[in-house]
């Protein structure tokens, strides 16, 4: 049996259109017969007569066109349509950068609605570990990646429909996750999870094998497809207390050797802060500094419990923080000091986190939540503005990913979202940024362009069959839950079997 099935090898899978499922099993193919030539084809797109073009949080144009050539924005102004161009009328619409979900766990799309009233550590034991046991059994023992393909498609579909064009996905990594992104037309950063302590041993790879597999993902997927990359790889030691000193040193070494970025959960809970204080005598961030991991290549996720010395270290090292307000609220983890971070000049991106602790992948809702909780917590309505939050969801998200996106200007990646403003909850528009942050919903997104390709038009997915994706996700998700109830890691396992 092949260690990695043929369909996961990009060099041959896309070039020759050959797709094989793990273990020789036929996997569902919800695509609508789109050929590889069509996937690779580029065209000129003219978004014409947009009521608003939101270039960034501070620059908005009215009644202008946006021209896309290939996978880049060619210009903004007034253009004469040419034969063969794809013309998208945009009167009554807002054209904006695609939203960027700077941290998520897409496998948790199959765990939605399973947690309420449970803090993070207990939630891991009750919900996460039993599901992970089933997923790893399929992947590691049966070499079956169909679960990963299904959750990756379902998550990408939800994000596309809500105006998200890129995410950083700290997943239960497998090749099928990345193949799903290629098939549906999504842009993603695969943050390859690295864990070698604390969690149950059955959920951990042998350390040498884990490292070998991580480097394999870098080799196969970083910068793919080669002619117009939409997939990149990061290294992701999950948290300071889930990664041994040896693993953290190895991460820093491989980051430097391969030119990669790193993402880590940092100071999410008081439990984590207390654990590191007891074992290392310092804070989680300053512990990571010992290994040379705190620099501009790090995206530090959560950063809820930080003292002033931590914040100064973030500022000095130019770390990008990733704020996950809804997840922090649902798990009762606390509220990150985002206004203070921004005051210090620390770039803060925005993210949904995993769907099991959110439970949506809707960045419009995340923007609204991010602004409102800070205003309430500070008892100051001016502590965090809509413009700051919009920048967190776009420009700073692109910075976290290390990609030239998040702003609409010539030369940037053509990751563009068109929002229909002719909705009762969006009229009249007095300030378009305020309207997008406080009034708009993911369902207002009408058209999504990723890498210069229209992947959703008029809320219709263009690359695959949406009904088939949903049916696949329903079947696989329900099966995962049924099997999780019988995992030896499920609390009350014997009762579930009875």
Residue among 149, 59, 162 nearest 101 (CA): 162
**Whole-angstrom Cα distance, residue 57 to residue 54?**
7
Structural element, H or E, at residue 179? helix 175-184
Residue among 350, 346, 344, 268 nearest 306 (CA): 268
**Whole-angstrom Cα distance, residue 186 to residue 463?**
10
Q: Model pTM?
A: 0.90
Position 200 scores a pLDDT of 78
Predicted confidence (pLDDT) per residue in 311-351, tens digit: 999 999 999 999 999 999 998 999 999 999 999 999 999 99
The segments of the chain whose pLDDT lies below 50 read 1-41, 494-498
464-491 as b/e: b if 16+ CB within 10 A: bbbeebeebbeebbeebbebbeebebbe
Position 427 scores a pLDDT of 97
Predicted confidence (pLDDT) per residue in 136-156, tens digit: 888 888 888 999 999 999 999
Q: Which domains does the chain have, with CATH numbers?
A: 45-98+415-461 (2.30.40.10), 103-117+149-401 (3.20.20.140)
Position 139 scores a pLDDT of 86
Position 382 scores a pLDDT of 97
Structural element, H or E, at residue 468? helix 466-484
Predicted confidence (pLDDT) per residue in 28-84, tens digit: 333 333 334 343 345 899 999 999 999 999 999 999 999 999 999 999 999 999 999
82-112 as b/e: b if 16+ CB within 10 A: eeebeebebebbbbbbbbbbbbbbbbbbbbb
Could you tell me if 271 and 304 are in contact, meaning their C-beta atoms sit under 8 angstroms apart? no
Residue among 340, 279, 328 nearest 302 (CA): 328
Taking the alpha carbons at both ends of the chain, their separation in whole angstroms is: 36
């Amino acid at each position: 049996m092949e260690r990695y099935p043929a369909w996961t090898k990009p060099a041959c899978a896309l070039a020759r259109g050959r797709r094989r499922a793990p273990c020789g099993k036929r996997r569902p193919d919800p695509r609508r017969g789109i050929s590889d030539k069509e996937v690779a084809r580029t065209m000129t797109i003219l978004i014409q007569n947009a009521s608003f073009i939101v270039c960034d949080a501070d620059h908005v144009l009215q009644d202008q066109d946006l021209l896309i050539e290939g996978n880049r924005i060619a210009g903004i102004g007034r253009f004469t349509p040419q034969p063969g161009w794809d013309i998208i009328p945009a009167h009554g619409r807002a054209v904006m950068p695609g939203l960027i979900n700077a941290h998520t766990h897409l496998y948790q799309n199959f765990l939605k609605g399973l947690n309420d009233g449970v803090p993070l550590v207990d939630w891991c034991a009750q919900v996460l570990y039993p599901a992970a046991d089933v997923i790893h059994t399929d992947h590691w023992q049966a070499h079956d990646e169909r679960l990963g393909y299904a959750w990756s498609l379902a998550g990408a579909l939800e994000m596309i429909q809500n105006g998200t064009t890129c995410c950083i996905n700290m997943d239960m990594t497998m090749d099928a996750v990345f193949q799903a992104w290629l098939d549906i037309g999504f842009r993603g950063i695969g943050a390859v999870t690295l864990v070698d302590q604390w969690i149950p041993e059955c959920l951990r790879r042998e350390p040498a094998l884990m490292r070998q597999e991580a480097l394999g993902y870098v080799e196969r997927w970083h910068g793919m497809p080669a002619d117009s990359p939409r997939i990149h790889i990061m290294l992701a030691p999950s948290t300071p207390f889930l990664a041994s000193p040896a693993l953290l040193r190895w991460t820093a070494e491989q980051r430097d050797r391969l030119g990669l970025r790193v993402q880590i959960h940092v100071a999410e809970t008081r439990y984590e802060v207390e654990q590191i204080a007891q074992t290392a005598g310092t804070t989680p961030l300053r512990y990571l500094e010992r290994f040379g991991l705190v620099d501009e290549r790090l995206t530090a996720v959560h950063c809820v419990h930080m003292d002033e010395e931590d914040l100064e270290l973030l500022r000095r090292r130019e770390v990008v923080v990733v704020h996950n307000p809804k997840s922090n609220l649902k798990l009762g983890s606390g509220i990150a000091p985002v206004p203070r971070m921004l005051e210090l000049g620390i770039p803060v991106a925005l993210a949904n986190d995993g769907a099991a602790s959110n439970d949506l992948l809707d960045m419009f809702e995340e923007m609204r939540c991010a602004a409102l909780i800070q205003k309430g917590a500070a008892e100051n309505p001016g502590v965090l503005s809509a413009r700051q939050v919009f920048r967190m969801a776009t420009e700073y998200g692109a910075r976290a990913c290390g990609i030239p996106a998040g702003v609409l200007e010539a030369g940037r990646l053509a990751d563009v979202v068109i929002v229909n403003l002719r909705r009762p909850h969006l009229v009249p528009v007095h300030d378009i940024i305020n309207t997008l942050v406080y009034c708009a919903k993911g369902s207002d997104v009408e058209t999504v362009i990723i890498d210069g390709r229209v992947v959703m038009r008029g809320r219709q997915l263009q690359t695959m069959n949406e009904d088939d994706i949903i049916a696949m996700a329903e079947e696989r998700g329900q099966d995962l839950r049924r099997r999780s109830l019988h995992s030896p890691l499920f609390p009350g396992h014997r009762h579930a079997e009875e």
